[in-house]
Amino acid sequence: MMEILLPLLGFLIGTVASMVGVGGGVFIVPLLTLLYEFSPSEAVGTSLATIIFTSLASTANYSRQKRIYYKTGLILALTTVPGAFLGAYLTSIIEERLLGLIFGLFIFFIALRMIFKLSFSRTKQSHTGKGGHSESSLFESRRKISSGVALSFFGGLSSGLLGIGGGSLLVPIMVLAMKMPMHITVATSMFTMIFTSTSGVVQHFRQGNISFMYVILLVLGTIFGAQLGAYTSKKISGGNLRTIFGIVLVIVSIRMILKYV
How high is the pLDDT of residue 113? 72
Question: 49-93: per-residue pLDDT in tens?
Answer: 999 999 999 999 999 999 999 999 999 999 999 999 898 888 777
Question: 1-11: per-residue pLDDT in tens?
Answer: 688 999 999 99
- Asked whether the beta carbons of 222 and 24 are under 8 A apart, the reply is yes
Mean pLDDT of successive 10-residue segments in the chain (261 residues)?
89 88 81 84 90 93 94 94 88 71 75 66 44 78 92 88 78 90 92 92 91 96 93 80 79 75 74
Cα–Cα distance list, 160 to 17, 107, 118, 174, 211 (Å)? 17, 16, 29, 20, 16
How high is the pLDDT of residue 153? 93
How high is the pLDDT of residue 247? 83
- Nearest of 255, 197, 185 to residue 222 by alpha carbon: 197
How high is the pLDDT of residue 23? 79
Query: pTM of whole model > 0.75?
Result: yes
How high is the pLDDT of residue 17? 84
Surface-to-core class of residue 147, CB atoms within 10 Å of its CB (0-12 exposed, 13-18 middle, 19+ buried): middle
Surface-to-core class of residue 115, CB atoms within 10 Å of its CB (0-12 exposed, 13-18 middle, 19+ buried): middle
How many angstroms separate the CA atoms of 2 and 217, rounded? 11
Question: 24-44: per-residue pLDDT in tens?
Answer: 887 888 788 878 888 878 988
How high is the pLDDT of residue 22? 79
**Contacts of 64 by beta carbon, 8 Å cutoff, 6+ apart:** none
Among residues of the chain, what percentage have pLDDT more than 90?
Answer: 40
